[in-house]
Amino acid sequence: MSTPKRSTQKRTSLANRASAALAPYASATVAAVVLRFFLGGTMLYAGIDKTMLDPRFLQAEGVGSIGETLRYFVTSGGPLAGLVEAVALPQPVLIGASMAVAQLLVGASLLTGSWVRYGALLGAGISLTLALTSTWGVSPYYYGNDLPYLVGFLALAALGDGGALRLGAAAPRGHNPERRAALVSGTGVAAGIVALLLLDRSRAISTITGGETATPSPTPGTSPTPTPSSSAPAGGTAIDGASGLADGQALNFSAGGTDAVLVKDGSTYRAFERACTHQGTSVDWQAGSGDFLCPNHGARFSATGQVTMGPANTPLRAIEVSVATDGSVTYRR
């Protein structure tokens, strides 16, 4: 009869030990350090990306340039469209450089623990500005990434630096469980950001490796997919509902488990993987403008899959399609 009791006592003891070990992590200090390292690291990367990794950004014209981005902010009709048109468009390079410097300042402030509340408020201002321009048209709103950053910066502004891991501060004496927990948490967040950068298929990793991800692109003057033919390709799989598409319409389908989209452009069918080549978010066909839009960062692709607006810099990945004499449309991977 004593065995179940001892087993219960042992489980209770282990639970108590686990609670005691995790107790230092349930503190405002750890919460502040986690926010500082994630938001600061992200803003530092964003500033470096704009000033060093992306040669296109600080340009007045061209795909991926700040000038093209600002023009999109105007045409998207956000609350700040008029202000962007009047103030930012006449001097796009200055605006882009100012944004990059502001992001670098926020990153330096948060990571060093200096003037954290002011750095967090500056970060909140940047996020609010982007939420009212870059991601204003994103629907549902939770697809947009600027609002979560805004809330995170506001939370950090309330918390402050957390009293730990401040550059230049005197090293505390004695064992401090909360400081140790903050150090472990901050190191984990930093390692996570480094891992994300290594997995990132955008400009940063391309610069580090000295090349770009190879993506098939169509020959100028031709379509990336075949025009109607007399027979379906060997091993082709039919796309249900494709034959009913009208000119300018699109159909989302699964290409062997990959999220894909089929577009009818005149008498030509084109199919692409829906993953944006910037960060993998699914693009949506815009019937009104006749192009693809990524709701995450506003990248746009033409009906032939070519980039028309950054931050993406490679075309959508094409999928081979063919039309049989009976009108059925098939794809082949």
Q: Which positions ≥6 away from 206 have C-beta within 8 Å?
A: 212, 213
Lowest mean pLDDT of 26-30, 74-78, 180-184, 319-323, name the range. Answer: 74-78
303 contacts 290 by C-beta, under 8 angstroms: yes
Average pLDDT over residues 16-29: 78
Q: What is the DSSP secondary-structure string of 20-63?
A: HHHGGGSSHHHHHHHHHHHHHHHHHHHHHIIIII-TTTT-SSST
Assess whether pLDDT exceeds 90 at residue 153: yes
Closest CA to 253 of 266, 267, 269: 269
d(Cα 163, Cα 71) in Å, to the nearest integer?
43
328 contacts 241 by C-beta, under 8 angstroms: no
In this prediction the pTM is 0.63
205 contacts 197 by C-beta, under 8 angstroms: yes
User: Which of the 8 DSSP states describes residue 275?
Assistant: B
d(Cα 141, Cα 145) in Å, to the nearest integer?
9
Specify the CATH architecture of the domain 237-332.
3-layer Sandwich (2.102)
Query: So what's the pLDDT on residue 219?
Result: 36
Average pLDDT over residues 120-140: 89
Cα 49 to Cα 17, 45, 65, 99, distances in angstroms: 44, 6, 13, 12
Strand order in the sheet with 307-309: 284-286, 291-293, 300-301, 307-309
Query: So what's the pLDDT on residue 126?
Result: 97
Query: So what's the pLDDT on residue 319?
Result: 92
Query: Using 50, 70 and 90 to split pLDDT, how confident is the model at 112?
Result: very high
d(Cα 138, Cα 57) in Å, to the nearest integer?
22
d(Cα 149, Cα 62) in Å, to the nearest integer?
28
Which residue type sits at 26?
Answer: A
| Residue 308, burial from CB neighbour count under 10 angstroms (0-12, 13-18, 19+) | middle
pLDDT tens digit string along 197-220? 777 654 444 444 444 333 333 433
330 contacts 322 by C-beta, under 8 angstroms: yes
Domain boundaries, the chain: 19-167+176-209, 237-332
d(Cα 136, Cα 266) in Å, to the nearest integer?
32
Q: Which positions ≥6 away from 120 have C-beta within 8 Å?
A: 39, 106, 109, 110, 153, 154, 156, 157
Neighbours of 117 (CB within 10 A): 14
314 contacts 213 by C-beta, under 8 angstroms: yes
Query: Using 50, 70 and 90 to split pLDDT, how confident is the model at 143?
Result: confident
Helices 116-131 and 28-48 sit at what angle, rounded to 10 degrees?
60
Lowest mean pLDDT of 35-39, 125-129, 224-228, 298-302, name the range. Answer: 224-228
